[in-house]
Amino acid sequence: MDSKEVDFEVVEDATAISKFGTIVKQVKAFACTSRNQAARLGRAILFAEQNESETITFTTSIDSGVVVRPGSVIEVNDPVRAGARRGGRVVSATTTAITIDAESETTLPALNDNPTISIVLSDGTIESKSISDITGAVITVSSAFSSAPNVNAPYVISSTTLQTQLFRVIQVEEQDDINYVITALTYVEGKYAFIEDNTSLPVRNISLLNAPVSSPSNLTVTEKTVVINNIARSKSIVDWQPVQGVTQYLVNYKFEDNNYVSQVVFSSDFELLDTKKGIYTIEVFSYNLSLQLSTNATTTTFTAIGKTALPEDVTNLTIEPINEQFIRLRFKQATAIDVLHGGRVYVRHSNQTGGAATFQSAQDIIEAVAGNSSEVIVPSLTGTYLLKFQDDGGRFSENAASVTISGVNIVDSITVKTDREDTDGTPYNGAKSNVTFDSTLGGLKLTDPSSNASGTYDFVDTLDLGATFSLTLKRHFQGSGFYVGDQFDNRTDNIDTWTDFDGTVANDANAKIAVRTTTDNPSGSPTYTSFNDFANGVFKARGFQFRITLETSDVAQNMNLQQAGYTATMPSRTEQSSVIASGAGAKAVTFTAPFFVGTSALGNLNSFLPSVNISPQNMGTKEFYELTNISGTGFTVHFKNESGASIDRNFTYSAVGFGKGG
C-alpha cells in the first residue's frame, strides 16, 4: 500500500475575515490529488458556511409531500421575508385561466414585471407559465398548461422584482397519513461556477423589504398660530401623502441659509414651532423596512410670516349710554390668537368727527384692556371713539373702528303724572259711597260710621298712557282717626271692644288706596283687574283707576283723610341696535319696542321723545347724516356726502327714552 505525503493548501476569504475575524478550519480531503482540487474544496466550504447555512422546516399536504424527494430543489415564498404573499391554492382552473384563493391578501405583480405562475399538476409535475392578464382573482397565462390544474393545487407566483427563494430538500418525513414534514437547506444557483472560476452569482430578489421606496408626494406646508400653555405661538405644519408600506420618514429643514436640521418622524406630518418670518427649505425622505432611505427626497420651500401678520380690524362697534358720565362700547371679540392671548384693545378719543378723527391724532381715554374683551366702559365725551387691536408682539390693526357721539343727556326717570285729590280743584270731587268731604275737618271721612263702617272714594280721572307700559306708582297719603263724640251713647254697647276707655286715642279707623289696571283702551269697553292695595309698586298696563277705602271697627271712631293721591313715574330705557345698512337714501328705522313720549290727555304730548345717537361705521371726510322724524316708534336717518348726494353707510344707533312697553 502506497503512502503519500499530505500537502496543505490555504484558502482565505478576506471579506469574511474583516467581518468575523480569522477562523481556522482544517480539512483532510479524500481523493484530492491536486492543488486546484484542494482550492476548490476550500472555496466550497467557505461559500457553504456563509451562504448555505439556513434551513427551513415546514409541513405540507400529501399532494406536495409525495412529489418531493431529498436532493430536490424547491421554490419557497415566505410572506414574512418577502414582504408579500405570492403563493396559495387554486380555487378553480382551466388550462389558461387560474382562479386563486385570498385575492385580497395576495400581492399580485404588475404585468410589466414579467410575472410567472408555477402550479403542481395532477400528475405531480410542476409547470410554469408567463402571466398575460390579471383580473381580480383570475390569472390568465400566455400559453396553456398541459392539463387543467386540480382544485386546491399549490401555486406560487414569481416576478423580476420578487422571486421565490431556493432550497435543497435534505429530509422528507411522513408525519401521519396526510401530512409530510420537509426540511431543506438554502440553495444558491450558480454557486459551482462561482466556486470554480469566481463567476458572479446571479442576483435573486427574494424580498421587497429591501427594495427602495419612493419619496412622499403632495408635500404641503400650512402656517397657523396656536395656544400652548396660554401663550400664542407660531406653528407650521408640514404634511404629505403617505407612501404605502412606509412607517418612518426623515425630515430635513433649514431656515434661510442656516444648516439643515434632521428629524425622524413616524407619521405623515411634522410640526415646526415658533417659525420666523423668512424662507424655509424642507425635504422629506422615506425609509423602507430595512431603514434604507429613498433615493430622492421630496422638496419644497415655504415663506413663513411667523407672528408678523397684523391683527384684524375691530368690527361691530356700538355705543350704549349708561348715565350722564359713562357709556359702554361693545364690539366683536378678536379672533386672532395672539390678540386673545397676550394682546390688548386700545381705546382712544378725538374731539374731531368724520375723516378728521384718526387713531394717530387721538389719545387713549382708558388703559388698554385685555385682548379677549368685547366691551369697555369709558367716560362719555362728545366726539369720536377709535379702537384697534394690538397683538402680543405690539402690532396694531391696520384700520381703526370708530363711532361718533354727540352727547346724550340721560335722566333716570320722568314723572308721568302727580294726582292730588285733596288739592286739585274741588277737593275729593270723585264718586263717593258712604264717605263725604268735611270742609271743617279739611278731609274725607265716613258719612256715618254707626250705620256704615266702611266707604269708598273713586278718583276723578282715569290715567291713560296711550299704550301698555310699566309704571311706578307711589302713594301720597295722610290722615288720622278721631272720635265722633265724647259721650258713652256715641260708642258701641259692648264695652269689651273699647280699645281706649278715656276716648282720646282713635286707633280703630283706617284708610287705604288701591289701583286696578287694564291693557285695553279705557275709553272703550275695557276689562279691569281687581283693586289691589299699594304703597309703592310697579304695574304694567295702559289704563289705571284708583280707589280710597275708609273703614272703622269702632263706630265711635272715624277717619279724617286730609291728603290723598299718587305719583306715577317711568324709568329710563336704552335700546341698542346691531349694524344696519342705510341704503342710498333716507332710512326709516323702527324701534324694537316703542317709547313713552307723553299723551295729549296728560298734557305732555311728545314731551319725552327719545334721544337717538347714530354711530356711523367709518364715515369719510365731510360726509354727514340728517336725523329726522324722531317719535316713540322710530326715526329717519339720511347719509349724504359733501355734495348732499345720498350715500350708503353702515351704522348702529342707541336710543334713550322712557317706558318699558310690550
Q: What is the predicted pLDDT for the residue at 432?
A: 95
Q: What is the predicted pLDDT for the residue at 489?
A: 47
Q: How confident is the model at residue 409 (pLDDT cuts 50, 70, 90)?
A: low
Q: How confident is the model at residue 625 (pLDDT cuts 50, 70, 90)?
A: confident
Minimum mean pLDDT range among 179-193, 519-533, 576-590: 179-193
Minimum mean pLDDT range among 533-547, 605-619, 637-651: 605-619
Q: Which three cell numbers stand for residue 369?
A: 384692556
Q: How confident is the model at residue 512 (pLDDT cuts 50, 70, 90)?
A: very high
Q: What is the predicted pLDDT for the residue at 408?
A: 54
Q: Return all residues near 526 (Cβ < 8 A) that are at least 6 apart.
A: 518, 520, 543
Inform me whether the pLDDT recorded for 502 exceeds 60: no
Per-residue pLDDT, averaged over 324-329, amounts to: 82
Q: Return all residues near 472 (Cβ < 8 A) that are at least 6 apart.
A: 413, 536, 537, 538, 568, 569, 570, 571
| Phi/psi of residue 41, nearest 5 degrees | -60, -40
Q: Which three cell numbers stand for residue 201?
A: 452569482
Q: Return all residues near 49 (Cβ < 8 A) that are at least 6 apart.
A: none
Please spell the DSSP secondary structure of 129-184, one letter per residue.
EEEEEEETTEEEESS--SSPPPTT-EEEEE-SSS-PEEEEEEEEEE-SSSEEEEEE
Inform me whether the pLDDT recorded for 173 exceeds 80: yes
* Winning range, highest mean pLDDT, from 211-220, 222-231, 582-591, 601-610: 582-591
Inform me whether the pLDDT recorded for 311 exceeds 70: yes
Q: What is the predicted pLDDT for the residue at 555?
A: 87
pLDDT 10s digits, 41-61: 888 888 888 888 889 998 888
Inform me whether the pLDDT recorded for 590 exceeds 90: yes
**3-class DSSP state for residue 565?**
strand
Please work out, in degrees rounded to the nearest 5, the angle formed at the alpha carbon of residue 175 by the alpha carbons of 174 and 181.
70
Inform me whether the pLDDT recorded for 500 exceeds 60: no
Which DSSP letter does residue 529 get?
-
Minimum mean pLDDT range among 187-201, 333-347, 540-554, 579-593: 187-201
Q: How confident is the model at residue 107 (pLDDT cuts 50, 70, 90)?
A: confident
- Looking at every residue in the chain, the average pLDDT score rounds to 86
Angstrom CA distances, 641 to 350, 477, 626, 627, stand at 21, 59, 11, 15
Q: Strand pairing of 463-483 and 536-552?
A: antiparallel
Instruction: Give the C-alpha separation, 42 to 16, whole Å.
Output: 14
Inform me whether the pLDDT recorded for 374 exceeds 70: yes
Q: What is the predicted pLDDT for the residue at 501?
A: 45
Which residue has cell 340721560?
410
Minimum mean pLDDT range among 148-157, 432-441, 597-606, 608-617: 608-617
Q: What Rg value do the Cα atoms of the chain yield, rounded?
A: 53
Q: How confident is the model at residue 495 (pLDDT cuts 50, 70, 90)?
A: very low
Inform me whether the pLDDT recorded for 410 exceeds 70: no
Instruction: Give the C-alpha separation, 182 to 187, whole Å.
Output: 15
Backbone φ/ψ region at 585: left (φ over 0), alpha (ψ -120 to 50), beta:
left
Q: Which of 618, 614, 626 is nearest to 355 (CA)?
A: 618
Give the sign of the dihedral formed by CA 214, CA 218, CA 219, CA 225. negative
| Percentage above 90 pLDDT, the chain | 37
Instruction: Give the C-alpha separation, 535 to 564, whole Å.
Output: 12
Q: What is the predicted pLDDT for the residue at 65?
A: 63
Q: How confident is the model at residue 252 (pLDDT cuts 50, 70, 90)?
A: very high
* Winning range, highest mean pLDDT, from 403-417, 480-494, 510-524: 510-524
Encode 501-540: b = buried (16+ Cβ within 10 Å), e = exposed: eebeebebbebebbbbbbeeebeeebebeebeebeeeebe
pLDDT 10s digits, 64-73: 666 788 988 8
Inform me whether the pLDDT recorded for 539 exceeds 60: yes
Per-residue pLDDT, averaged over 337-358, amounts to: 87
pLDDT 10s digits, 112-146: 889 999 998 888 888 999 999 999 889 999 999 99
Q: Can you list the domains of the chain with their CATH numbers?
A: 14-51 (no CATH), 85-161 (2.40.10), 217-304 (2.60.40.10), 318-405 (2.60.40.10), 414-571 (2.60.120), 577-658 (2.60.40)
Question: pTM of the full predicted structure?
Answer: 0.46
